[in-house]
Amino acid sequence: MALLAIQGIAGALAAEVSIMPQPVKLEIAEGEMVINPKTTIILMDNSLRSTAQIFADDIAVFFDSKPLKVSSSHRKATDKSIYLALNKSLAAEEYSLLVNTNGTLIEGGSAAGVFYGLQSLRQMIIQTDGKVPYCTIEDKPTFAYRGVHLDVCRHFFTVEEVKEYIDIIAAHKINRFHFHLTDDQGWRIEIKRYPELTKVGSVRTETLVGHGGSSNEYDGTPYGGYYTQKQLRDIVKYAAERHITVIPEIEMPGHARGALAALPWLGCTDEYIPVWTRWGVTPEIMCAGKETTYEFLENVLAEVIEIFPSEYIHIGGDEAPRNRWKECPHCQERIKAEGLASEAELQSYLVARIEKYLHAHGRKMIGWDEILEGGVTPTATIMSWQGARGGINAAKKGNYVVMTPNSHLYFDFYQTETKEGEPLAIGGYLPVEKVYQYNPYRKLNDEEKKYILGVQCNLWTEYIGEFDHLTSMLLPRLAALSDVQWAENRRNEETLRPRMEQMRKLYDCYGWNYAKFYYEGRK
């Protein structure tokens, strides 16, 4: 049977089928396989049962809540079936998908590869109303790290909402979920050794109304919420079943007023400092001079490590004004005792101690690009958010980097230039087109490029209090980002809009609220 490259096909089926993110190879042939609730998913390897069941349950939404049957029988079913198999000749996240007269065969180098093949099949089922054309797909990602971030400190989201957020990012073949759990406006993770952190530190007395740069109005309503360790383990398990690693972030030494409110001795003066009711950067940070601060951080991380099996633990490190340290006798004594030259080096001392602790417990440290300021170890991984400069400099020095520049990947920014019809946002302007144009390798040579682990969008929630608002900030920009993450070396801006139009069908099928500006042609 002759296969035709999709770019050269004139016909309804070719026009109806597209995959996001862009696969390495997609070829369409004559003929189609009808997939409906009677279609069976057959496991060629029983280790794929969970992956198959998730797909069966997810696609059931399209089939009026009728899930497909999952069977471990190796013989062919009466009707055409979907066969799932492992193929060790493929890389772990690589997959192949073949639809022909014998049914559909998806092979992956691991269960993750099979999962990604099923995401492509799901898109095609929804796009073609279950009449999937005969085709061949071969695909694998560019970056090993494909991340999405969520801040639950400024505004809190329930376990079920977090799981739906994970569903959304899984549909875009994301494999890292950066979970921002502590900040000035609330401590959101149960630490059993320090119950005050959630009893006191998770609740602020009220919340700012309007923009933080101009408003002094507050709502007068206490606001709080946190996750128990049991709930967090449930979220980790849910994500892992969708081949997503949850990376927790525990902020230090700045963005710590949730902790300082609960345990005032963490500060330089031991004075009570309430959970913050505003947004922005506060001068109140943890004391880097007291040994009790390091004991606290290690005790917290000991429990965090037990909950989250991720290779990386994020330690924040951003926006930590050091003026308090200049006045603090404990900090000045630490600087003198350790032979440090400045308060910036004191922060680097703290970061290095925490990294040493994490290494001793089999983990790696990642932090925002400010941790570069006083110098970092060669093993520290940098998350570059203040544009790409920090990441570029780190990669040139041989540190691994995840690119998250606010210039292209801050999804709390406005989506149109006029802002007409948009809810209040922090500022900035980030349309779909700008997300798609981001080049993670800019200003790097071939040797330096190997230090770019991947790309991530960040979604901060100062001005996002409802889940529908949250998803409308994520979608459809996430679809454009997924092409950067998965298909950086084969992106084609000419095919972006038709593929984005097809992604709407997926969003509509699952009732995921998304911004309409791009589809309306607004910039």
Q: Which of 187, 215, 183, 213 is nearest to 200 (CA)?
A: 187
What SS3 class is residue 50? helix
Report d(CA 101, CA 110) in Å as an integer: 25
Please give the Cα distance from 123 to 505 (Å, whole number).
8
Catalytic entry in 180, 255, 314, 408: 255
The β-bridge relationship of strands 223-224 and 40-43 is unpaired
Alpha helices per DSSP H over 244-309: 257-262, 291-307
Q: What's the count of helices (H) and strands (E) in the chain, helices before strands?
A: 18, 22
Q: Return the closest-CA partner of residue 348 out of 324, 375, 379, 316.
A: 375
The CA-CA-CA angle for residues 299, 403, 505, to 5°, reads 105
* Cα–Cα separations (whole angstroms), residue 393 to 68, 81, 263, 402: 50, 51, 37, 12
Catalytic residue among 94, 183, 343, 483: 183
Tokens of 427: 């500022």
Q: What is the DSSP letter of 412?
A: T
Find all residues with CB under 8 Å of 420, minimum gap 6, and list them: none
Q: Is 494 a catalytic residue?
A: no
Q: Alpha carbon 6 to chain centroid distance?
A: 31
**Candidate list 161, 303, 319, 422, residue with the active-site label:** 319
255 assigned to active site? yes
Is residue 394 within 8 Å of residue 372, measured between CB atoms?
yes
Exposed, middle or buried: residue 241 (CB in 10 Å: 0-12, 13-18, 19+)?
A: middle
Could you tell me if 483 and 22 are in contact, meaning their C-beta atoms sit under 8 angstroms apart? yes
The answer to whether 93 is a known catalytic residue is no
Neighbours of 2 (CB within 10 A): 6
List 493's β-bridge partners, or say none: none
Which residue numbers are catalytic? Answer: 183, 255, 319
